Structure 1
């Protein structure tokens, strides 16, 4: 991704600045075209077929001319393919939008296209910057996760989207750690337990306890009950849930040094104060038996702006009090929580795994 971003940056420098600024300013045209095509489930409607625009529009319950224009823009971006004039099929770019395929990112796209998630960017970002508060909170009157607890549809959409993160990043973290050293995974803020299930399916000796908010656990149990993958269904018997607000409640203690606490993309959505409280609770739960703590997060480069990490950093500011942190900032939090950074495990993705031990 960083190599691709480097090429894009190089190409953008060849574009006259006024034209480039207009491109950036109108980029939401592309975003909304993708969002509409995803909402209409065009990729699933096409499946493995090539369909005339009239047939496809009928299946999607829209007017052919408008759909043709949407797909033409997306095709120019490499998403969908016009096999011949007015006849459309999926391609490599649109295949991950199919709901019926492993590795789908459809629910991830849909989450970011929901009005609740788009409106803070569109309507309240400038005023939120003046107030020094998250734009989501300014617009909706309460923080993201508190709002989700009162909105079951958004809660379910969020859980489904988090379940598809692997379709975006892959699972390099599964092979980056020697999981044979552990017997139980305590997945702190593990949402629907998808990462835990991925591990359990690969390691028959492991058990996992997913710890998350009560509303998240309720949604997760519903999703897990409908599990269709045979391998993951078998692993489901070794997965359990514990309802707790990890920012406020004590965590289940480790029972042996073979336990490992796993915090994946959790702390970047929290303020420094909340992240420190979570790390302190983890340290207290791990320290008596010397359990290991694994934190998988992006580490922001303080010298070079990375497009993907910088984008996520601003998304955190829009929706939460969190941020993408530098190594210096991570080490400061770990020291305050009485956790020692023992090792950094690089991954071929935006994040890395930081291996910690309690002091």
Structure 2
């Protein structure tokens, strides 16, 4: 096959790639992994357990087997692989809710109309759903639950290694800005028994917080509010996967509020991916397009963060890598 034909075949194959996450979503939706507990299972038993059509379930599993999520062990028989275990609802770090969130129509449909971002300059989400991303969630409790539970599932495996990667001070108050259910704050407080924590988010989000653990009793509080207006006073500010949701002007507003509220010598810790230079794959380059299609934000390079902090009266002091795709981008008062 000549080069031109190979190129065409390669691009066609890449264009079919969207069907793998579609199959992954289908498997997650019917909870098939929850029923794959006894080694290899027959399609008939799995279909009965999940209330699905055996032939079509087999077609989905056959594609998932090509990427190591399941393994076809014989005619009409499949078993879950080590990778696929994370699709189980009861897995220690289950990815099921994150899969359902990342492939939800609120993410899927704008990605399919990404050309709008190129021709119109803004997110495709607003045109499709008739309202900005977070406004839509405020009106739709069911979709909001999918997002917040999915984000928690996406974040949970990251939180402990992030908390260990950064050397938090032994004492002081940590404010988790837009911290959702408090997974990262929980791990930080566990690492440093002398720290106190404040989880700051909107009221409907805080109702799902997970800070009620005995090992951090009496060292945390909840703060209801809008980080575009103000944040509580503290020594360190955590912003995990927050700034990438918003454009530079909006992000600078959040950072200014943190700078105004923090105590002398305070620090802002932006926990986000830092887009690396070059042509190598990195999750930040993929997620950046999701931000473009559905929100107003973006993933940022080191230079982007430097400029953003400058606009907010802060100074980028260092970037601390973690074992995850995220880094801790540390900023201090520029004055």
C-alpha deviation, 1:152, in angstroms: 0.8
C-alpha deviation, 1:48, in angstroms: 4.2
Aligned mates of 2:119, 2:79 — CA distance in 1: 46
TM-score, normalisation: structure 2: 0.92
TM-score, normalisation: structure 1: 0.86
Point out where structure 2 has 5 or more consecutive residues left out of the alignment.
none
Quote the residue 2:62 is aligned against.
Answer: 72
Aligned residues: 331
Structure 2 residue 302 is matched with structure 1 residue 327: yes
Quote the residue 1:268 is aligned against.
Answer: 244
Structure 2 residue 330 is matched with structure 1 residue 341: no
Structure 2 residue 143 is matched with structure 1 residue 125: no
| Structure-to-structure mapping, 1:212-223, within 5 angstroms | 212-218=201-207, 220-221=208-209
Structure 2 residue 179 is matched with structure 1 residue 190: yes
| Superposition misfits of 4+ residues, deviation over 6 angstroms | none
C-alpha deviation, 1:142, in angstroms: 1.3
Would the aligned equivalents of 1:104 and 1:167 in 2 still touch at CA under 8 Å? no
C-alpha deviation, 1:17, in angstroms: 1.5
C-alpha deviation, 1:93, in angstroms: 1.9
C-alpha deviation, 1:303, in angstroms: 4.1
Quote the residue 2:231 is aligned against.
Answer: 251
| Structure-to-structure mapping, 1:1-359, within 5 angstroms | 16-122=6-112, 124-166=113-155, 169=158, 171-218=160-207, 220-221=208-209, 224=210, 232=213, 234-235=215-216, 237-247=218-228, 249-254=229-234, 259-286=235-262, 288-304=263-279, 306-358=281-333, 359=335
C-alpha deviation, 1:305, in angstroms: 5.5
Aligned mates of 2:225, 2:147 — CA distance in 1: 18
Of Structure 1 and Structure 2, the greater helix share is in 1
Aligned mates of 1:251, 1:190 — CA distance in 2: 12
Would the aligned equivalents of 1:155 and 1:215 in 2 still touch at CA under 8 Å? no
Which stretch of the first structure deviates more once superposed, 15-24 or 310-319?
A: 15-24
Aligned mates of 1:181, 1:337 — CA distance in 2: 27
Aligned mates of 2:105, 2:327 — CA distance in 1: 32
Would the aligned equivalents of 1:155 and 1:216 in 2 still touch at CA under 8 Å? no
Aligned mates of 2:156, 2:179 — CA distance in 1: 17
Flag the 1:242–1:304 CA change in 2: closer, same or farther, 3 A.
same
Would the aligned equivalents of 2:106 and 2:294 in 1 still touch at CA under 8 Å? no
Aligned mates of 1:189, 1:29 — CA distance in 2: 33
Point out where structure 1 has 5 or more consecutive residues left out of the alignment.
1-12
Would the aligned equivalents of 1:105 and 1:167 in 2 still touch at CA under 8 Å? no
1:212-268 residue CA offsets vs partner (Å, 9 max, x unmatched) = 2233223x24xx39x7xxxx4543653322121212x111122xxxx2111111101
